[in-house]
A and B are shown apart, each in its own frame.
Chain A
């Protein structure tokens, strides 16, 4: 319902609209019988999650447009300056951002179910190994509006999980730290939101 209102209020770019439609279709596809209540709830939660992500990306684009555009450059200091300025402005634009703003409890539950499904069966070991390979320090401090440390390696959900999760616009990406799923702003490396306990224990 929230999504319909959201769509009704705004002109949603093509990709965003696609994201909103693809998730529930994919979640329900191949199920045969009518979706269970859990599946329907998860589909709705993912749709609402995608809408909140789009809201964030809209804000991010507005903030970034106030900065000189980042283009390929020979000067790494330009890249670092852009990253730092964007992070600072995004923090200012979301001073009260907190865990759960985007990964709401319903969304976390939907991600948990999707992870559990993807991490079972014949592909489970491969997915686990992918995410545990060279994983970042599990005790790494993860705070919304904090910067993902550039000294820590990157681990993203495995391809199987990325196929099960709602697709994201290019401005943001999923990251994995232990059992925690992170939404990160790609250019600023700012942690947009944190969902703890999404991945089942090893």
Chain B
């Protein structure tokens, strides 16, 4: 009885732990066959030198970690919606990636015009919110600029229909948890979205808006990342709290992710190529809603 209890405790620790202890020198992506590999950028569309620097670093990193697509967390084009703005804040900075056939999947930020959804390289296909699947990962790209009951119902339906077999990753612009001084957490959005995320077993959430990088300790079993500094930066704006697992607010950054089976490996890299965070999230398969209590 006691042995079984200890075993259960050990198993529980293993399956729910974020292995973030690995220092920068220790972390390597496994580069497993058939894994899902992506990069994550947010609040990047300034068209300035800093965005170009981050983009250049992404290209450099891709030589070692060949990510297959890029997720954009909004504020894709800050400067306006003229053709020259798209050129300056997207087509030029990411040209090497676009030329290499790397697709981008965007959501809208509060500085974006809604018509960006018609810009083919953003892969929104005319929709403000959408879902797609890569390998064993189901992505949900949401529009937190306008979270009306229609979208909320759509999210619930999509999350439910996605079942429990695949990873569920949601991404959108406004961070539900944030230690940023400028905006802070989007509590009103959290009240609507978090119950759905918990109920239907979302594993990881990415957001931007706050111009820093932050990884938050799991909230109700969900891992939240803010990456809002891939072009913009609000230096020194992070006020780390007890929920902050790791923060970085002294330079721009981007993330790289590999999902292999039930493990998600992440690495956050600065504009200058310094690793600022890394770790592994092991996914627990959760029971379908209603079938049993969540872990």
Contact = CB atoms under 8 A, between A and B. Distances in A.
A66 interface: no
B120 to A, nearest CB: 5
Contacts of A150: 80-81, 113
Interface SS of chain A: helix, strand, loop or mixed? loop
B127 to A, nearest CB: 10
A129 interface: yes
B118 A73 contact: yes
Interface in A66-96: 70-77, 79-80, 82-83
Interface string A182-202: 000011010000000000000
A47 interface: no
Contact of A130 (B83, B113, B189): B189
Contact of A123 (B120, B147, B191): B191
B151 to A, nearest CB: 9
Given A129-B188, A150-B113, A159 B83 contact: no
Given A133-B186, A150-B80, A72 B120 contact: yes
A154 B145 contact: yes
A72 B113 CA distance: 14
Contact of B115 (A79, A134, A158, A160): A79
Contacts of A70: 115, 118, 126
A52 B86 CA distance: 36
Interface residues of B, number: 39
Interface residues of A, number: 37
B152 interface: yes
Nearest to A70: B118
Contacts of B120: 72-74
Contacts of A127: 188
Contact of A163 (B116, B145, B149): B149
A175 to B, nearest CB: 9
A149 to B, nearest CB: 9
B62 interface: no
Nearest to B143: A156
Given A76-B86, A83-B81, A125-B187, A167 B119 contact: no
A129 B185 CA distance: 9
A162 interface: yes
Given A72-B119, A156-B145, A167-B148, A77 B83 contact: yes
Interface of B: 79-83, 85-87, 110-116, 118-121, 124-126, 145-150, 152, 174, 183-184, 186-189, 191-192, 209
20 contacts: A70-B115, A70-B118, A72-B125, A72-B126, A73-B118, A76-B82, A76-B85, A76-B86, A76-B87, A79-B116, A126-B188, A134-B183, A151-B80, A153-B111, A154-B112, A154-B114, A159-B147, A160-B188, A167-B149, A187-B114
Interface of A: 70-77, 79-80, 82-83, 123, 125-127, 129-130, 133-134, 150-151, 153-156, 158-160, 162-163, 167-168, 173, 186-187, 189
